[in-house]
Amino acid sequence: MKHSNSPQTKLSSSPPNPEPSAAELATGALSFVPAPDEVARKAYFAFVNQGSKPGHEVQHWLKAEADLIAERNRTRTHGFHNPT
């Protein structure tokens, strides 16, 4: 049996990752995603309340998302959600 001179490719196995993956997080407490229309409404009100100055759209959107998620988590803590 003759061995070829071409190098054999080895698949490197990565070490186990102690942090959960995005898919694992999505199945847990972070599975709630606010509806885009709710986020848009809340972000618009923040825009108006801060003087309608352009240039902070992303910050308003991210803050609105965070507020809606926090609100959802507060209501879940107190048992006001409807388990499905």
List, as one string, the DSSP characters of 19-56.
Answer: SPPHHHHHTTGGG----HHHHHHHHHHHHHHTTS-SS-
For residue 32, the model assigns a pLDDT of: 83
* Mean pLDDT of all residues in 43-72: 94
The domain of 68 spans 34-84
Reported as a single tens digit per residue, the pLDDT across 22-50 is 454 444 455 789 999 999 999 999 999 99
Please name which of 26, 28, 30, 24 lies closest in space to residue 72, comparing C-alpha atoms. 30
The verdict on residue 4 lying in a domain is no
pLDDT reported for residue 83: 60
Start-to-end Cα distance in the chain? 63
pTM: 0.55
Q: Which residue has the higher pLDDT, 46 or 13?
A: 46
Rounded to whole angstroms, the Cα distance separating 47 from 44 reads 5
Residue 58 in any domain: the answer is yes
Would residue 13 count as lying in a domain? Answer: no
* Domain total in the chain: 1
